Amino acid sequence: HSNRVMWFQDLFPPNVCPINAKANTFYGIMFDAGSTGTRIHIYTFVQKSPENLPELEGEIFESVKPGLSAYADQPEKGAETVKRLLDMAIDAVPPHLWKKTPVVLKATAGLRLLSEEKAQALLLEVKEVFEESPFLVPENSVSIMDGSYEGILAWITVNFLTGQLSGQNQHTVGTLDLGGASTQITFLPRFEETLKESPGDFLTSFEMFNSTYKLYTHSYLGFGLKAARLATLGALNMEAADGQMFRSSCLPKQLEAEWHFGGVKYRYGGNKEGETGFKPCYLEVLKVVKGKLHQPDEIRGSSFYAFSYYYDRAVDTNLIDYEQGGVLEVRDFERKAKEVCDNMERYNSASPFLCMDLTYITALLKEGFGFRDNTLLQSRPRSFIFPCAADTHKGRVDAIHKTFLIHKNFKGKYQQEKKNKKKQPLQG
Ligand SMILES: Nc1ccn([C@@H]2O[C@H](COP(=O)(O)OP(=O)(O)O)[C@@H](O)[C@H]2O)c(=O)n1
Ligand SMILES: [Ca+2]
């Protein structure tokens, strides 16, 4: 693939990727507190001249598991995981810039699922860690991110970085993010009908680069991959699972195991005597999604950019390449689900949940959102869009995509590059 010149290589020339401090360098620290893990992004920006906007020069990334919500009952321990990540920033940012470097944490679905009380306790402890650090702590620096904002940021990132938000012919692509606890769908409606038929809170307008965008976006809480496992097992929203055994036809017959999620321990297993395989599993999973999601007509035919667990499971089952990603159809997930579920014993080296996960993805796409079998999904590794991303982060499309700050910062550079470079959108 080395002969494929990507337009963004000029945005992020490899030789400027490493972080090296210069006089006009400044930093920003962003935490993505997801339901399955906490991640730190330490960004370096460089202002080359006073009239130019600063440019992103590099990123340091690190992550820990589990996510903050696993510490629902030990908020101090949760905050400690944040502190350990923040210590990396102490090493990465030169001391004279500490006081000018903002630190922000945005929590997503894991904390949304907790009680207000437990979520606030965690956020408070994190805030304390920030305040004890030498960094700049802006107001409201530690908060739960709104679900529609989460969807919009992903959409902007993908479409901006693929060059769709500048110039005339804007062919934006919708985004599908499948997290651990929630899932987002975001697209730019082309038909008046969609705007009329959608619930009011599914539509959000915002302005960027002198255009107004009215997006369809929604975050479904409890429909992330891990939450869906619990829902399928009938164990979602159980404060204490009391050692109860949850069984499913989506799991290997003989399996009996334990699983921790959101600070709760669950026992789960296969249908020892009963049925297993794709058919009964699909029926089980169907109960979780059927009639629960809004189905905008116009998405049936359009293609989407799918990442997070869509990407992970597609890679796990060799539907796409880890480095390159690829294009697949909704029915590819179904084909794989059948293959895995109907040969469960053969797949026992992988996660015992592989059958359930693939079946859920199939049901979510088809019965949940109403996609057609042949709807195209692009699933790309994060490194495809962010070639400078740290190696540890390869294969991940960033789900929180670092706030408007960065998009604003890219603007000047991007327009400059476009003049003498043909952009190459993501394609098969
Ligand atoms: N920077 C990141 C962070 C997470 N992810 C993916 O997001 C999924 C986990 O979701 P999450 O822990 O953020 O859960 P939510 O809080 O979004 O529901 C995994 O598939 C991760 O690989 C990503 O692609 N890029
Ligand atoms: Ca996420």
Q: What is the pLDDT of residue 208?
A: 73
pLDDT of residue 48: 77
Q: What is the pLDDT of residue 239?
A: 64
Whether 168 has a binding-site annotation, put simply, is: no
Our answer on whether the CB atom of 108 is closer than 6 Å to any ligand 1 atom is yes
**Rounded alpha-carbon distances, angstroms, from residue 72 to 121, 171, 261:** 8, 42, 10
Name the residue of 35, 36, 63 whose CB sits within 8 Å of the most ligand 1 atoms, as the mutation to test its pocket. Answer: 36
| Residue labelled with tokens 């009964």 | 280
Ordered domains of the chain (ranges, CATH): 7-145 (3.30.420.40), 148-239+273-399 (3.30.420.150)
Q: Are strands 182-187 and 38-46 parallel, antiparallel or unpaired?
A: unpaired
Q: What is the mean pLDDT of the chain?
A: 82
150 is catalytic: yes
183 is in an annotated binding site: yes
**What ipTM was predicted for this assembly?**
0.99
Ligand 1 centroid to residue 118 C-alpha, Å = 21
pLDDT of residue 52: 65
What pLDDT does residue 276 have? 96
Q: Which residue has the higher pLDDT, 363 or 155?
A: 363
Higher pLDDT, 1 or 297: 297
> Ligand 1 atom closest to Cα of 107?
16
- Please choose, from the candidates 59, 31, 238, the residue with its C-alpha nearest in 3D space to the C-alpha of residue 144: 31
**β-bridge mates for residue 203, sequence order:** 216
Ligand 1 within 6 A of 282 CB? no
Query: What digits encode the pLDDT tens for the residues 37-84?
Result: 999 988 887 777 776 656 667 788 899 999 999 999 999 999 999 999
pLDDT at 207 over 50: yes
Ligand in closest contact with the CA of 383 = 1
Query: In 3-state terms, what secondary structure has residue 342?
Result: coil
Does the C-beta of 399 come closer than 6 Å to ligand 1?
yes
Which distant-in-sequence residues (6+ apart) come within 8 Å of 212 by Cβ? 205, 206
pLDDT, one tens digit per residue, over 243-254 is 899 999 999 999
Full-model pTM: 0.85
154 labelled ligand-binding: no
| Average pLDDT for 159-164 | 72
Residue with CA nearest ligand 1 atom 1: 398
Residue 107 DSSP code: E
Residue 269, pLDDT > 60, answer: yes
User: Which of 14-23, 26-35, 50-59 has the weakest average pLDDT?
Assistant: 14-23
More confident residue, 77 or 409: 77
* % the chain with pLDDT above 70: 78
